Amino acid sequence: MKKGIILLGFCGLIVVGGLHAKRKFHDPNHRLDQVKTEVKKLANKSEIKNGDLIFQTSLSGQSKAIELATKSKYSHCGIIYSDNGQHYVFEAVQPIKLTPLVKWIARGKDGHYVIKRLKNADKILTTETIQKMKQEGDKFKGKNYDLTFEWSDDKIYCSELIWKIYKRATGLEIGKLEKLSDFDLSDEVVKQKMKERYGHKIPLNEVVISPKAVFNSELLETINVN
């Protein structure tokens, strides 16, 4: 009997400890502290450089539809910039802006991310080129996020922001342009999101650059996966 009580007590401690660890892992402040430490290590190992691209699974309302339509779990991306030891992600959200890297990472699903870099970045992404990229980006800063994924500069979405900045500052096309009709629009989640955005007039011939296309660009190499 006594052994049974001790065993139950021990099991109870394990369960309580597990629940505490789970709550701690999902606690925003705890996650932010973890990411700060991680970003510091990345910076010390030169695994973060100006112009790097970073990808994550967003927790936004449209993320699942993007994942299903593009057959990729990466639904959001941005450009990393460093300034006086601080690291930021230039991203297309509402509105287009710079976000501290630690907050950007912590905001994504499970804190998971992938950092990619131009294969010949040391030769192409000079100080002057990075400055030009920032200048091109400044033209978009403060603009609205493009919910209908149109190929114009009036509003802009995440992978479009990356593609246009790189194209205009370096002449390189990071990712293959596609049309909306190239994606898998058959899932009910995707259909519902398309109906919300377009009604019954879906612009299937609209030029689109997806996070997956940027992610899979042959011009990039993977620097870090977490």
pLDDT at 32: 84
The full DSSP string for the chain is -HHHHHHHHHHHHHHHHHHHHHHHHH-HHHHHHHHHHHHHHHHHTT---TT-EEEE---STTHHHHHHHHT-S--EEEEEEEETTEEEEEE-SSS-EEEEHHHHHHHSGGG--EEEEETTHHHHS-HHHHHHHHHHHHTTTTPPB-TT--SSSSSB-HHHHHHHHHHHHHS---S--EEGGGS---SHHHHHHHHHHHTT---TT-EE--HHHHHT-TTEEEEEE-
The Cα 208–Cα 220 span in angstroms is: 19
Per-residue model confidence (pLDDT) at position 27: 53
HSE-CB of 123 using CA atoms within 13 angstroms: 2
The predicted structure's pLDDT at residue 16: 37
pTM (two decimals): 0.86
CA distance 108 to 63: 11
What's the longest Cα–Cα distance across the chain?
77
Euclidean distance between CA atoms 16 and 221, whole angstroms? 43
- Could you tell me the end-to-end alpha-carbon distance of the chain, in angstroms, rounded to an integer? 47
Return averaged pLDDT per consecutive 10 residues of the chain, 226 residues in all: 46 41 49 88 89 97 96 97 93 97 95 96 97 98 97 98 98 98 97 95 97 98 95
Looking at residue 31, what is its pLDDT? 78
Residues 70, 212: contact at Cβ < 8 Å?
Answer: yes
CA dist., res. 158 & res. 91, Å (int): 6
For residue 50, what pLDDT is reported? Answer: 96
Q: Tell me the CA distances in angstroms from 210 to 21, 27, 145, 162, one per residue in order.
A: 36, 31, 15, 10
Q: What pLDDT sits at residue 158? A: 98
